[in-house]
Structure 1
Amino acid sequence: MNKLAFALAALIAAPATAAPLCDNMGFAGLLAKCNRGEPVELTLSSGKPLYAGEGPIALQSGAYYEVNITADGTAELAVSGAEFFRAIWMNEIVISDIEIRPMAIDSIEFDAGGSAKLSFIAIKPGSYTLRIPGSTGDAQAVTFSIQ
């Protein structure tokens, strides 16, 4: 095998690695404070956009994130996105100081006003959408791009 073919074979066989946000994570590992991205704020409200920012939210595979979802109680609303929830490792969901550590979820529904905090590690690269079920408008969805 020539040198170029050997180098290409080694590159192809090398496992893909996530690039966390910091080099020295210490005992906490991926949950280390230095490996945390900016929190994302989502709002569930009748007739208002789900996400106030522009464009997709970029996440780094291997980094820790929090998504805060707040419902104002103007309507019974949910967010769903099974593909997104399957592309992350969910650490916990916190609702009214109750910590839930689920294996998997498809959606979160608010029957009244309140908030939920999701903390997770982004894992699988790709583009994923969280959407208010039954809605078709772009303002009723948010796209996450895991790099």
Structure 2
Amino acid sequence: MKALILAGTMALAASFAGAQQFDYGFAGLMGKQNRSDLPDLTLGSGKPVAEGPISLKSGGYYKMKIVADGSAELALSGGDFFRAIWINEIVINNIEIRPLGVHSLEFDAAGEAEISFIAIMPGTFELAIPGTSGDSQKAVFTIQ
């Protein structure tokens, strides 16, 4: 019986030794070749947040930078937008954050955050500076 167990264990070990190594890097949909870079969003006193409306495709993989110039303490808020996407990561100062949910990002000083995400739910959504109403103080995203 011990010989049978030993033979089975050796056969299992041999099969693992010959197994291919898996690369859990971002392949498939989330490979860099499938990612589209979006225009940067800007946070600055009196500056427009976005150059214009941004169109996304449901199921598309995107990367977007939010750049604050430090001229004022500003945030971008948009719970509806963040619920319409799946966030892969937010990178701040080379620190990768993989959140379960986001409502807003606030910059107290100059800095940059990079968000990579997959657009999920079709519709029109906004990321806006809280307490503002001007069209230039928000980014409008349409997911088709």
Q: Same fold (TM over 0.5)?
A: yes
Match for 2:111: what amino acid?
G
Structure 1 outlier segments of 4+, above 3 Å: none
Aligned 1:73-84 pairs, distance under 5 A: 73-84=70-81
The residue aligned with 2:90 is 93
CA distance in structure 2 between the partners assigned to 1:102 and 1:36 by the alignment: 19
- Give SS of 1:115's match: strand
Taking structure 2 as the reference length, the TM-score comes to 0.79
1-structure distance, mates of 2:125, 2:34 = 21
Match of 1:61 in 2: 58
Report the equivalent of 1:119.
116
2:126 — aligned with what?
129
2:68 counterpart (68, 71, 74)? 71
Q: How high is the TM-score relative to the length of structure 1?
A: 0.78
**Between Structure 1 and Structure 2, how many residues are aligned?**
119
Q: CA deviation at 1:43?
A: 0.7
Shift of residue 40, structure 1, vs aligned partner: 2.5
Report the AA paired with residue 72 of structure 1: D
User: Residue 47 of structure 1 corresponds to which residue in structure 2?
Assistant: 46
How is 1:30-45 mapped onto 2 (pairs within 5 angstroms)? 30-45=29-44
- What letter matches 1:50 in structure 2? V
Are 2:76 and 2:130, in contact at CA under 8 Å, matched by a contact in 1?
Answer: yes
The alignment-based identity, stated in percent, is 60
Per-residue CA deviation, residues 84-113 of structure 1 (Å, 9 max, x unaligned), is 000000000000000000000000000000
Residue 37 of structure 2 contacts residue 64 of structure 2 at CA under 8 Å; is this kept in 1? Answer: no
Structure 1 spans left out of the alignment, 5+ residues: 1-26
Distance across 2 between alignment mates of 1:96 and 1:122:
24
What stretches of structure 2 of length at least 5 have no aligned partner?
1-25
